[in-house]
Amino acid sequence: MNKLTVGVVQATPVFFNLNTTLERVDYWLQQASEQNSDLVLFPESFIPGYPRGFTFDASIGHRSDQSRDLYQKYWENSVAVPSREVELLADLAKKYRTYLGIGVTERDQVNGTLYCTLLYFSPEYGYLGKHRKLKPTGVERLVWGEGQADTLIAVNTKVGRLGGLICWENYMPLARMAMYKMGVQIYLAPTADARANWTATLQHIALEGRCFVLGCNQFFRREDYPAEYQLFVKDYQEDFCRGGSIIVGPDGEVLSGPLYNKEGILTATINLTNSVRHKLDFDVVGHYSRDDVFDLTISGQPSIIQEDKNKIK
C-alpha cells in the first residue's frame, strides 16, 4: 500500500477526565474517517490532557497536600496498559478502519509511576505496542518517569513502517537515529510545542530520515480548564497552546499545515515510494552512515514489530 491518506487531529481534550476525553477521540476519529484517513495521529498526552501551567505546588524539598491531591486526580484519569480503555481505543481503530497513534499519560500497572506514552493500534489487530518518552522535559520530570530502550519501537504495518518520538526527545540525535535504524517511513511526532520554530524541527527530521513526519499538538486555552483547576494556572502568563500541527514530506516540504488557533484535522495523501526516491542522494542509515567510523549500540531496543504479532505488552 504505497498511497495512503494520513491525518493529524488538533483538538482539545476534556482535561483530567478520562472517559469524556475518550468520547472526544471517538468524535474526531469519525471526522477523520469521513476524510478517508488510513492513519490518524492524536497529540502528546491527549488523554487526559497535557498539564500545561501546573507546578503541582512543588519546590525542592517541599510538596503540599494540595499538589498530592492534584497528582492523584491526574493519576486516576490516566491510562493503564492493558486496560478497558486500551481495548476501547482498539475497538475505535477497528470501527473506523484506521491505524491510530495517540498520546496518553500512562499509569504503570506495577509501580504506579506515570509515563508520557505513545500508543499504536491497527484496524485489524488492535493494540500493537507503545513508546514511553525517554526524557521528560523540565518540570515534566515531576509528573512523568523516564522510558527505556524497550519501547523504542517501530511497527511493520500494511500502511508502512511506523515509529516516532514524543515532543523534545526529538531533539535527542541518538534517539532519532534509533528510529532511523528501524527504517521508519512514517515518523509520528506528537508534541506540546506550539512554537513556530517547531516546524523547522520537523522539517529537519523529515530531511534527515527521508521519511514522512506527522506533527500533532493540542489546541488548548485557559478557559478550557474546568473551574476547579483555574486556581492552579492563575499565574501562567504564556499562551496556553495554539497548536501548530503539520505534515511534512521526505523532501522537507510541508504537505499540510501548520494549523494554529483552532481545532481541526489536517490530512495529506502520501506515496511511500517518495521516501525511497529521496534516498538517492542521502540515506542516514545507508550509504551516508559511515559505519566504519561510527557505531551506535542501543541496549534493549526490541526488534521491529510485525503488525500481526503482538510482541509488546
Per-residue DSSP letter, 301: P
Max CA distance (Å), the chain: 59
Residue 167 designated active-site:
yes
Per-residue DSSP letter, 145: -
Question: Does a cis peptide bond (omega within 30 degrees of 0) precede residue 13?
Answer: no
CB-CB contact of 16 with 78 (8 Å): no
Residue 133 designated active-site:
yes
Provide the 3-class DSSP secondary structure of residue 106.
strand
Angle at CA of residue 183, ends 44 and 128, nearest 5°: 50
Residue 279 designated active-site:
no
Out of 85, 130, 133, 307, pick the active-site residue: 133
Out of 44, 106, 169, 307, pick the active-site residue: 44
Rounded alpha-carbon distances, angstroms, from residue 71 to 51, 129, 192: 10, 26, 19
Q: 504537505: which residue's cell? A: 255
Out of 85, 116, 130, 167, pick the active-site residue: 167
What is the residue type of 159? V
Angle at CA of residue 13, ends 249 and 188, nearest 5°: 25
Among all residues, which ones are annotated catalytic? 44, 133, 167
